Amino acid sequence: MLIRPYSTGEEAQLHAIFHSAVHGLACRDYTAAQLHAWAPQDYDGALWSQRMRANQTLVAELDGRAVAFTDLQPSGYIDMFFVAAPYARRGVGGALLRHIMEMAHTRAIGVLRSDVSLTAEPFFARHGFRVETRNLVPVRGVALENATMSRMLAL
Ligand SMILES: CC(C)(COP(=O)(O)OP(=O)(O)OC[C@H]1O[C@@H](n2cnc3c(N)ncnc32)[C@H](O)[C@@H]1OP(=O)(O)O)[C@@H](O)C(=O)NCCC(=O)NCCS
């Protein structure tokens, strides 16, 4: 597996991964209305591209194909963490998270934090994250449950 910075021009591919992860994996924990609000088919491409760029998004590639993406903000916040549904449960998420932990260590970031879906919560818990708060977040007029989770890192 290769983990690399995303390149300008692959934003639509990253959105397809996001859409696949939400509709193909998170579908076991959220209603159709919640999934539609979270990852609608129609989206603002300019806004999405801006977010990918600003986040300094990282891409995981398997056999030359982008299959997952994430990011690490200077504060230690992880904004997005998505694995395309057909590539789930193969260790891609684990490899991405280990990569982020190494980056955090290099940057002397002491705490990782993310707002994590119900689907991703067991995965983050397995990797040492603990729930700080449980949240009900309005997204496009629909309430979505998530949890703010964090993990301290040894500096
Ligand atoms: C949560 C998510 C990122 C995990 O990614 P992943 O690539 O499936 O993660 P991994 O494969 O490293 O580990 C996932 C599970 O598969 C298991 N697994 C890993 N490799 C495996 C393999 N070869 N065969 C079977 N199971 C495997 C792991 O033990 C782990 O089990 P657990 O969930 O009981 O802890 C992914 O499921 C996802 O994108 N979910 C939907 C979107 C979402 O909620 N994103 C987060 C928003 S904050």
Number of separate domains in the chain: 1
For atom 6 of ligand 1, the residue with the nearest CA is 93
Q: Is residue 125 part of a domain?
A: no
What integer best gives the mean pLDDT of the chain? 97
What range defines the domain where residue 76 resides?
2-108
Q: Is residue 137 part of a domain?
A: no
Sign of the C-alpha dihedral computed for residues 100, 101, 102 and 105 taken in this order: positive
Q: Is 145 helix (H, G, I), strand (E, B) or coil?
A: strand
Q: Is residue 61 part of a domain?
A: yes
27-34 — which CB contacts under 8 Å span 24+ positions?
28/119, 29/117, 29/118, 29/119, 30/117, 30/118, 30/119, 30/144, 33/142, 34/139, 34/142, 34/143, 34/144
Integer Cα distance of 83 and 58 in angstroms: 12
The pTM for the full model equals 0.94
Q: What is the DSSP string of 88-106?
A: TTSSHHHHHHHHHHHHHHH
Q: Which atom of ligand 1 is nearest to the CA of 25?
A: 41
For atom 14 of ligand 1, the residue with the nearest CA is 89
Q: Is residue 52 part of a domain?
A: yes
Separation of CA 87 and ligand 1 centre (Å): 9
**Phi-psi region at 94: left, alpha or beta (left = phi > 0; alpha = psi -120 to 50):** alpha
72 pocket-lining for ligand 1 (C-beta < 6 Å)? no
Integer Cα distance of 43 and 57 in angstroms: 18
Per the CB < 8 A criterion, the answer to whether 139 and 38 are in contact is: yes
Return the CATH number at 31: 3.40.630.30
Q: Is residue 154 part of a domain?
A: no
> What is the best residue among 89, 116, 139 to mutate for testing ligand 1's pocket, by most ligand atoms within 8 Å of CB?
89
Integer Cα distance of 128 and 94 in angstroms: 12
For atom 16 of ligand 1, the residue with the nearest CA is 89
pLDDT tens for the 155 residues of the chain, in order: 999 999 999 999 999 999 999 999 999 999 999 999 999 999 999 999 999 999 999 999 999 999 999 999 999 999 999 999 999 999 999 999 999 999 999 999 999 999 999 999 999 999 999 999 999 999 999 999 999 999 999 87
Q: Which two tokens stand for residue 29?
A: 């924990």
Q: Is residue 27 part of a domain?
A: yes
93 pocket-lining for ligand 1 (C-beta < 6 Å)? yes
Task: Give pLDDT tens digits for 98-127.
Answer: 999 999 999 999 999 999 999 999 999 999
Q: Is 116 helix (H, G, I), strand (E, B) or coil?
A: strand
Q: Is residue 153 part of a domain?
A: no
135 pocket-lining for ligand 1 (C-beta < 6 Å)? no
For atom 9 of ligand 1, the residue with the nearest CA is 93
